Amino acid sequence: MATFYDLAADNRRKSLILVLLVVAILAAFGASAGIALSGTVDGGLPFALGAFVLGFFLTLGAWFSGDKAVLAAAGAKPLNPDAGAEERQLDNIVDELCLAANLPKPKLYVIDDTALNAFATGRDPEHASVAVTAGLMAKLDREEMSGVIAHELSHVRNFDIRYGLLVAALVGSLALLSDLVMRWAFWGGGRRRSNDREGGNAIQVIFFVLTIILAILAPIAARLVQLAVSRQREYLADASGVELTRNPAGLERALAKLAGDTEVLEVATKATAHLYVVNPVKRFESRAAGFMATHPPLVDRINRLRTLRGVKPLAAVNEA
């Protein structure tokens, strides 16, 4: 039977494969655009290299400052344990769970919002941060908060936070390159195609069409693969969190409360939604139409926790 450590190792292998896949798509995309522009296979090499360099520098930026950008986008402020009982309780919970998990204590932040949510970010356990909303501290009891924090610390321990930063940068590179290619197609591609028909350069025509197709499909494909792995990571973080707290009921109750929360977390974006403990975009929001599912269904997550307690699964949960 696979242990949590086996599952975490398998998760890291899948993450590496995903990163390499996105890099390959990025290079192929650049090469296709280069051939479409130059009309020769050799002409695609500089563009493939350029696409790779773009991804490299965006990834490098994410590695060193991606967590700061995420925290700034969320409006997160450093936690002050002396500010009140809720802040002291959160600080104590993190101390206890880090000791149990043999993890360095992450930096703690608070998001001044009444919505219920939390996330972890950083490149490794030594450079990790955990942010929670003020609403979460106010509405969850100690057991429930312990379940949520254990879930987030599991993301840290399993290096999910590193994966989130790296892949977000690579997928962002693809989106940026796609946007540039679509602008080129709109402003200069039509004129080039006209010249191609006159010159009979079939290679350019073929790769022009291929590049446009890639510009449309590549970011979507990369995003779908990213989200598929992200959903599996949520299941593993739930299970790993229970291993830390020895109390599946705490996280189960917390997820039920988060499922029924109708407060809107305005600071959540498409780029950061996958980081949160539950999907921060509610079904009733107008922006929900543009969001892909970043998390597994809450009823599935709750039922897996109920199974650990030997309790009958739920048919559904009232999810906002």
Give the residue numbers marked as catalytic. Answer: 152
Which residue in 145, 159, 161 sits closest to 96, CA to CA? 145
Q: Are residues 70 and 272 in contact, defined by beta-carbon separation less than 8 angstroms? A: yes
Chain centroid to Cα 141, Å, comes to 27
Chain centroid to Cα 199, Å, comes to 46
* Owner of token pair 């693809």: 174
Distance CA 22, CA 27 (A): 9
Which residue in 79, 83, 75 sits closest to 106, CA to CA? 79
Residues 6+ apart with CB under 8 A from 2: 10
Distance CA 226, CA 9 (A): 17
Burial 62-83 (b: 16+ CB within 10 A, else e): bbeebbebbbeebebeebeeee
Q: How far is CA 266 from CA 18, 76, 117, 133, in A?
A: 30, 13, 12, 12
**What distance, in Å, lies between the first and last C-alpha atoms of the chain?**
36
Which residue in 123, 63, 126, 136 sits closest to 93, CA to CA? 136
